[in-house]
Structure 1
Amino acid sequence: MDFSFSEEEELFRKSVREVCEKKIAPHGREMDEEAGIPSEIIKDVGELGLLGIMVSDKYGGQAATFTKAAIAAEEIARADTSMSVAVYYLVEAAWGFLFERYAVEKAKEEILPDVTKGRTFLGIASTEASGGSDIASTSTTMVRKGGRLLVNGAKTYISGVREAAQYGGGFVTVVKTDPASGHKGLSLCYLPAKEFPGVTVSTSRQMGREGISNGFIKITDAGVPEHYLLGEWNEGFYYAMEGFNCARPLVAAACIGAAEKVLETGITHIKQRKVFGTPIGKFEGIQFQLAENYARLESAKMHVYKAAWMLDRFYKEEKFSRGEINKAVALAKLVAPTAAFDIIKDVMVWHGAYGYTKEAGFERALRGVTSYLVGAEGTMNIMKIIIGKELLGKEFSPI
């Protein structure tokens, strides 16, 4: 049993942190208030080889492990605790990996090189008005017609709609291809978003993560090329679940990155801030809270990197069952966002009135991690259902 990172991984972390602190951190408030990630940041992240990081080098990626991908997610979120750049990064990392696994060669050659160079955006479109976690209730349809895939429907609360529409790119999209078969009647396709006939996007304002857009996709008789089908017809539910398993550890890694940065700021503050002539870090009410938060953060890290380690072996060595992966990934996604939220909230309180100001920056982090509590990449209750199902057996699953 080895809990250390390799020398290569440590060097990778150092290089990513240096670039992120220099190129991303100074723009945190600007991105949140002006609602956009500067193109220079996307360029810098792309030049570092982080966009589509797990895509093979044939298409411009690094063929990175899940462990390295998680390290990058953690470091990016340390630099931008609002999670905006982290969201841009992690959806491309996870769904780029899935795209390469299931797309045909023509589609991979057409789409992935532009994604890894930062020229276009690749996202995931699964959520609909009926809900996000229950993708079996997807109402967006796709049929074969005239040599193309005809798509109709709508997607809601999708990250990156403005970026895809303006700069090019599209979304791995969940569609219903056999309405009578429930979750066994879903497929995946790539849906272009920039000036594609039948596809229109609109944006909405979120509580947080304002640096990356969020919004809606309306799809009316969009004739998607046949080679944009991902994998086999009616197998989309299983591919989507696999994609979420790839994304969730990166989400959790980003949460611990933001929480770690905020907690470090909090430690500095309670060592320096005095009341009644005494640093507040000497008071048990603060010190015990710090110890508890540190313990939760370290626990979350263990879950995150264990899940990443297991995924690396699942794909390369075919170790672990699908159920073991489901449980490990859900544990990471369950523990990290809740721990991050509580840590950021406590540090905000330690700072008193200043903690409540925009200048302090804690509210950006609090708003950012909240998105992963309410539903992005799966709600907390869905994570509990997944864990319960793996512990008790599928006959005990309520869904």
Structure 2
Amino acid sequence: MLHIFKEINFPKSLQSFNVGIKRYFTPDALSSYKRGAGGRSSFNGVVATVFGPNGFVGETLVNVLGKEGTQMIIAHRCDFNWSDRLKIYGDLGQILYCHYQPNDVDESNLYKAMKYSNVVVNLIGTLFETNNYSFEETHIEIPRRLARIARECGVNKFIHVSHIAARSDPLGPSLLSSPASHRILKTKALGEEAVLNEFPEGAIILKPSTLFGFGDRFFSLYANAKRRSGRVLLPLWRRGEATIKSPLYVFDLARAIARIASPLTPREIVVGKRFHLTGPQAYTLAELCDWMHQLIHLEPEVSGYTRTELDLMIWIKTKLPRIKFFVPPFITPEALEYEFVSEEPELGDLNFADLGITNLVEINSVGPYCLFNFRIDGNFDRVYAGDNYENQLPPLEYPPPRPLYNI
């Protein structure tokens, strides 16, 4: 990575940062450096700083960017040993680390993390509050600070990942009293506005729908015994029949971020835009849950699995984190309300088609493998009539009847 800075008299190692300079190179300077034939051992002209790399999306994104020859600075606030596994996703010297604390008064570490980069990706988000970070701090103040520093450091593209349902009036039930209702999505919407106001000439907003994949919070939530009341009762708002979900494979989201970060994607096409990214099909939450429980061998006709209305037991479970029973919490009142928000893109929104991305992964092709470890019989597989690992989910048509994307 050091050859990038040789001609402009940078320090010999990225470990010795110089915070005093605000503008370090131009995009044309980066694109003129020698590149390889392509792949992990090449340089594609992008130096990216990734915030939130230890999350579900972060690890997949680092892998995809590393595969394309992107040099990355992993900004982490945890111990290095929690992030060292990301080192293998890039060739020698391709991935470096920078420790920071987003709420520190001293912002020098944030400048260190971004001053060599022409792309910054913010994946920071949460479904529960802690003593140190509230929803407002996590979804509004931290993105605003990162966007401001990215602008001061001369970053070309600041990619902020939000949620497709983030708006002032989310499409879902208000299970909590105001103003606590939908705080997760409302603060995410305010965070989008804060980023665009702070860095209008470089910010890009991505609004993905519910993500699925290995280690996600979709399969791992509804297939988990903790989410059920008893052994076979699954409490859902209106039994899941009034909630629409458009599950998106996490790798497809990473592809979209990599496409936007690519030097082959002109800034004029993406900067200042919002991209609504959903999966290729839409389903009711009831259809998805029934399909998942069939794959883990909890069929209604065999086990008695039933979807029910929200009951007292699930609300008791949301209170357990408050008394330190689960760390981190498995479910909170805000996260429970967040589950039942419908995901529907608006007509005219930018999407995968505008990025030239097609062939999105459908949930039925990945779900059986992601749910394998949740089967109630463990590794002792049972074969009986009706068990089909290639079970296809029927597409859901809801008014107005139209495909999510024309791709």
Larger radius of gyration: 2
TM norm structure 1: 0.30
- Relative to its length, the structure with more helix (as a share) is 1
